[in-house]
Structure 1
């Protein structure tokens, strides 16, 4: 499934770096080139309501809605990740630059370590995200083949990854074609690891 895309999304390596703040309600990240540290994309949650902000500092944080936009530095939105209030399991919707629904994430109940399905708009499974909290590694897999991996380890950055913030390395394999909608969904899913599974 090919989807019109920006060249930046055809890269295979991204360093996702959280904005650090003691009283931080919003989920804000910068996505860097791990080799040059250049900011490639900015992930922002700009329009938080008052009650959502308040609940982000309570035990109800995992249930709160979110709406994160992944933008180029020039302000152009490429991907939007959205979820309403969640009580039992999350269903997250992903939209492209034209605000067209391109896929969903559905959390699996009672999974060990964290798992969700990456779906087409009509609920067909594209791949699955499977996690290991013990080693802090998450893999996107389809029929036993790895499409991408998210980890806190990468030799090129070293100890910078092991700060108090949630910083990740995303590596997308060459077997995911350029321009494929799966690239957008995988990048969007990295935001959901933090907001859906980990909080």
Structure 2
């Protein structure tokens, strides 16, 4: 079964105190079996510039792969960002699946989801604590959630590692593009929008 046929994912960030590049494992939350991995690939120059510049302002590429055959599932890319970053999601062949745009004003955090035809298809809304998010359709229907899973006091205090659950509504599984975009949105909360310079 492909990762994209699933509806729940446990995302586990690799622990590190002075990381310049982020890496995550994707697990089946029921069995804890590792089923995929996420690797940030910002390029060598950008990687070293992160020692001087906040990485949220710099371009990055995040590659999401299936562990079964190491095949790339989709790619998330953010260009240079000063205000409202546009984050694209593309297939391994470079075809646009959709993109995200940060909201102008949001107390709890969040961003808007658009398909490849520039049509808004969803909204990511965060709560005041900043680590429980809902993936909503434009009509307000809940399509999924992203919730923080506590990693333990030592990890939380001494590292920036995050563990969280992405849960998608089973009703969207027949729409592969939307399911991919929502999983990418769940990953982008931490990899693109929330991560700060370590």
Structure 2 unmatched ranges of 5 or more:
none
Q: Does 1:75 align with 2:64?
A: no
The residue that corresponds to 1:105 in the other structure is: 100
The residue that corresponds to 1:167 in the other structure is: 163
Deviation per residue, 1:18-73 (Å, 9 max, x gap):
011122111211100011111111111235223x2234345622111110110111
Q: Distance in 2 between matches of 1:34 and 1:62?
A: 29
The residue that corresponds to 2:185 in the other structure is: 189
The residue that corresponds to 1:126 in the other structure is: 121
Structure 1 unmatched ranges of 5 or more:
1-5, 154-158
Shift of 1:191: 2.4
TM-score (structure 2 length as normaliser): 0.86
State the secondary structure of the residue aligned to 1:29: strand
TM-score (structure 1 length as normaliser): 0.86
Shift of 1:168: 0.7
| Distance change (3 Å), C-alpha of 1:196 and 1:43 | closer
| Distance change (3 Å), C-alpha of 1:189 and 1:77 | same
CA contact (8 A) 1:63 1:87 kept: yes
The residue that corresponds to 1:48 in the other structure is: 43
Q: Distance in 2 between matches of 1:61 and 1:12?
A: 30
* Count of matched residue positions in the alignment of Structure 1 and Structure 2: 188
Q: Does 1:115 align with 2:107?
A: no
State the secondary structure of the residue aligned to 1:191: helix
| Distance change (3 Å), C-alpha of 1:124 and 1:161 | farther
Bigger mean CA deviation after superposition, 120-129 or 57-66:
57-66
Shift of 1:185: 0.8
Q: Distance in 2 between matches of 1:133 and 1:58?
A: 30
Shift of 1:190: 2.0
The residue that corresponds to 2:143 in the other structure is: 147
Q: Distance in 2 between matches of 1:95 and 1:9?
A: 14
